């Protein structure tokens, strides 16, 4: 009896506030825009049959006919993918070095990685506005050391978005890789080296495959949220960078077209289904391996 209640309460909460809302989004993506508030025509009032006969896919047709949305989805995928690879390239060497650091340093290093993660996301993104702008600190510094002679335009370009994503999501990449590397048995590498493997080869053949789960978890933790990112492209990307999270937000708040915003969300969700399922399976395998 108690067990049933223990399961039922969090289950019901998640069903009501996580799963059912998706159904609502789906329904509204199939309804018409209305000028009253809320700006859509409720379709469920007059019974199931009328509802079904009124459903239409015109919002989806509209999306597929407008270039803007195609471009936004594609460029979000591209930006999320490139940023994930960049984050991995920055994060892996850090996680690797942390796992090799003396035992006594590790808690401090770990805390240094986690600390930015606890600090406001918005503030960390905002910090880059002052660094990357034309008269910002990076340009001042580069001009001062004489590498460049006129300021580089970085703010309001995709480059700024890459920097922003790598910066804010770096802890998510480092932590799972570190925990995989930390569990790695050092004697395996010694054995490989004794058997004539070069250090680099031992790294490729042993360390990388054994940290695979960490790499997968870290990459999903970066890729999936980055795909729908809103704050970073809005603050750093300017009007030139198209990302679907920003399009959705603007469709909703500026154009007040709720059905189209819902259709944008449904398609984004469909794109996310595959990575989400893979991520969940990876997590479950790890939880069960730990048990």
Q: Which is nearer to other proteins, 67 or 135 (CB)?
A: 135
Q: In this chain, which of 215, 258, 260, 263 binds other proteins, going by CB under 8 A?
A: 258
Q: In this chain, which of 43, 86, 87, 96 binds other proteins, going by CB under 8 A?
A: 96
Can you spell out the DSSP letters for 228-289? T--HHIIIIITTT---HHHHHHHHHHTS--HHHHHHHHHHHHHHHHHHHHHHHHHHHHHHHH
Taken as a whole, the chain contains a residue count of 291
Q: Which stretch binds other proteins (CB under 8 A): 47-55, 87-95, 143-151, 208-216?
A: 87-95
Q: Which is nearer to other proteins, 4 or 195 (CB)?
A: 4
> Where in 199-228 is the site for other proteins (CB under 8 A)?
220-221, 224-225, 227-228
The number of residues that bind other proteins (CB under 8 A) is 94
Tell me how far, at minimum, the Cβ of 78 lies from other proteins, in Å. 16
Q: Are 51 and 43 in contact (CB under 8 A)?
A: yes
Largest pairwise CA distance in the chain: 77
> Judged by CB under 8 A, does residue 234 bind other proteins?
yes
> Where in 6-25 is the site for other proteins (CB under 8 A)?
6-7, 9-11, 13-15, 17-22, 24-25
Exposed/middle/buried for residue 21 (C-beta within 10 Å: 0-12, 13-18, 19+): exposed
> Judged by CB under 8 A, does residue 129 bind other proteins?
yes
> Where in 141-170 is the site for other proteins (CB under 8 A)?
167, 170
SS (H, E, C) 63-90: HHHCHHHHHHHHHHHHHHHHHHHHHHHH
């Amino acid at each position: 009896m108690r067990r049933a209640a223990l399961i039922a309460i969090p289950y019901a909460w998640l069903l009501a506030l996580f799963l059912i809302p998706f159904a609502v989004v789906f329904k509204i993506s199939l309804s018409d825009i209305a000028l009253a508030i809320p700006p859509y025509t409720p379709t469920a009032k007059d019974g199931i049959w009328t509802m079904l006969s009124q459903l239409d896919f015109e919002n989806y047709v509209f999306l597929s006919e407008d270039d803007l949305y195609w471009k936004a989805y594609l460029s979000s995928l591209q930006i999320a993918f490139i940023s994930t690879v960049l984050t991995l390239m920055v994060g892996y060497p850090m996680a690797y070095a942390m796992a090799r650091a003396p035992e006594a340093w590790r808690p401090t290093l770990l805390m240094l990685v986690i600390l930015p993660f606890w600090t406001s996301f918005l503030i960390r993104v905002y910090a880059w506005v002052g660094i990357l702008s034309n008269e910002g600190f990076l340009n001042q510094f580069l001009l001062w050391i004489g590498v460049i002679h006129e300021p580089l335009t970085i703010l309001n370009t995709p480059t700024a978005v890459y920097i922003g994503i790598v910066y804010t999501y770096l802890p998510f990449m480092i932590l799972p890789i570190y925990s995989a590397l930390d569990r790695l048995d050092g004697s395996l590498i010694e054995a490989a080296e004794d058997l004539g493997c070069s250090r680099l080869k031992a790294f490729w053949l042993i360390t990388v495959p054994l940290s695979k789960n960490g790499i997968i978890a870290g990459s999903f933790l970066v890729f999936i949220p980055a795909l729908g990112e809103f704050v970073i492209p809005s603050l750093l990307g300017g009007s030139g960078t198209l990302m679907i999270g920003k399009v959705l937000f603007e469709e909703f708040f500026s154009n007040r077209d709720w059905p189209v915003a819902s259709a944008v969300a449904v398609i984004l969700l469909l794109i996310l289904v595959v990575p989400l399922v893979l991520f969940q399976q990876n997590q479950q395998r790890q939880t069960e391996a730990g048990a």
